[in-house]
Amino acid sequence: MAQILKFPNASLPLRRVDNLSHLISALSKHRHSREDVYWLKENAELLNVLECTGEATGATGAGAGDLSELGAELCPDALAPLQSFYKDADRHLCFFKQYYRFILSICMDLEDLGLAGTPSRGEDLAHWVMQQDLPEHELSDLQRAEARRLLARRGLAGDFAGLDDRLHGFVDNTAQFAVPNRKAAYELTHIVFYLSDYGRRDPGLSAAAVHSLNHVGLLAFLDQDADLLSEVCVSLRYCSEMPSKVWEDWLQLHHQGFALIEAGRAGAPALHRDDYHMFLVSSWHQALTGEASFHQRVPTGALRFQRPARQGILHHLSHAAYQLEGQSGDWQKLRPQISDGLSEGDYRLLCEAENSFDGFGTFFEGFARRGTIQQQPVMRVNNG
């Protein structure tokens, strides 16, 4: 009697534990060399998301959503590709001390995720960073805030006089966040991450700072930028604020459209153009909302990440606002003029953006940037 052999269907989803193992392997072995800063960045980001969402502990994730069913799914063997980096981290830190924040983050997350090794290595590295006074060499308060958070994970407190006041002063300046500025937008979300210790404590944001986050969220939604919008929604949840349902519904739909492609396949995007970071923060946001995350089938070997096609209207809106040439920033008066020429789909996106946030009119007043410098007071600087 003939025996019928059944082969596994490659289209079937893998177990989530296998997906996570394949993802760690891809980032640690198949995308960048270990001496490349992008290797440090990508692996630090992934491990950070796995650690702060409680992947190996069964803990309930911070912010929102019960992650208990996600915990304890990270197989201990999944971290094995990073064992040698962890073992040699002291040499790596000594040679690449300009990247000390990435290296500290990787080692501390590996320890907290359960990698077997020297329990005090992360603490030893943190002490060396303090002895070298590396945080004082930073020019950016954002980087100092990250360094402070990392050192505090191993019980070390540096002298960062005035840092919180400066961070809160930055995030409270709501007007600047109604203007497209990706650098400032990502600094805003990361300040929330560090002040909240990734959702473990109240960051103490003011109502103005929450408005800043919502303004950046509007800009990201208008641009259909799932990367930035995911970070905004995570930040709002870390502030115990519920993000717009319109935004989160769109993010869930967008997340389902990601493609994880073997690097050698035709049509795979080039490494420098793929959407790894967007996939990661989108998965992070999905985990916080209790939705499926890291459930897409992850092939073994080298991977490329491709987002679904999307088209925003931020450029059209910005161009139209510039053409107003100093007219009123009243949204209701200018709406017909600005929406003229939009396709049906783009007009629908504009309506969704309006309905996603009660303060859209106030947001647009700042976004319009009406007037000229002649209409603004100018302070003369006396150099004499």
Task: Please tell me the number of Cα atoms within 13 Å of 65 on its side-chain side.
Answer: 23
Q: What mean pLDDT comes out for the span 99-104?
A: 98
Q: What mean pLDDT comes out for the span 362-368?
A: 92
For residues 212 and 300, the model is more confident at 212
State pLDDT tens for residues 135-164: 999 999 999 999 999 999 999 998 899 999
* 19-23, 164-168, 197-201, 380-384: segment of lowest average pLDDT: 380-384
Using pLDDT thresholds of 50, 70 and 90, give the confidence band for residue 34: very high
State pLDDT tens for residues 292-332: 788 888 888 899 999 999 899 999 999 988 887 766 778 99
For residue 145, report the phi and psi dihedrals to the nearest 5 degrees: -65, -40
Using pLDDT thresholds of 50, 70 and 90, give the confidence band for residue 266: confident
pLDDT score of 3? 44
Using pLDDT thresholds of 50, 70 and 90, give the confidence band for residue 59: very low
Token digits of residue 163: 């840092």
Using pLDDT thresholds of 50, 70 and 90, give the confidence band for residue 366: very high
Identify whether the C-beta of residue 12 lies closer than 8 Å to the C-beta of residue 31.
no
> Rounded to an integer, what distance in angstroms lies between the CA atom of residue 186 and that of residue 234?
12
pTM over 0.85: yes
Q: Which of 71, 54, 64, 65 is nearest to 16 (CA)?
A: 71
Across all residues in the chain, what is the average pLDDT? 88
State pLDDT tens for residues 159-201: 899 999 999 999 999 999 999 999 999 999 999 999 999 999 9
Identify whether the C-beta of residue 263 lies closer than 8 Å to the C-beta of residue 303.
yes
Identify whether the C-beta of residue 128 lies closer than 8 Å to the C-beta of residue 93.
yes
For residue 275, report the phi and psi dihedrals to the nearest 5 degrees: -115, 45
pLDDT score of 60? 38
> Rounded to an integer, what distance in angstroms lies between the CA atom of residue 312 and that of residue 345?
10
Q: What mean pLDDT comes out for the span 75-88?
A: 90
Percent of the chain at pLDDT exceeding 70: 86
Using pLDDT thresholds of 50, 70 and 90, give the confidence band for residue 216: very high
Identify whether the C-beta of residue 274 lies closer than 8 Å to the C-beta of residue 305.
yes
Burial class (CB in 10 A: 0-12, 13-18, 19+), 325: exposed
The residues that bridge with 262 in the sheet, in sequence order, are 303
pLDDT score of 296? 82
Task: Please tell me the number of Cα atoms within 13 Å of 117 on its side-chain side.
Answer: 24
Q: How many CB atoms are located within 10 Å of the residue 225 CB?
A: 20
Residue 5 has pLDDT above 90, yes or no: no
Packed helices 314-323 and 207-222: angle between N→C axes, nearest 10 degrees: 100
Greatest distance between any 2 Cα atoms in the chain: 103
The structural domains of the chain, with segments of one domain joined by +, span 15-161, 162-255+311-357
> Rounded to an integer, what distance in angstroms lies between the CA atom of residue 231 and that of residue 186?
8
pLDDT score of 374? 58
State pLDDT tens for residues 113-124: 988 666 689 999
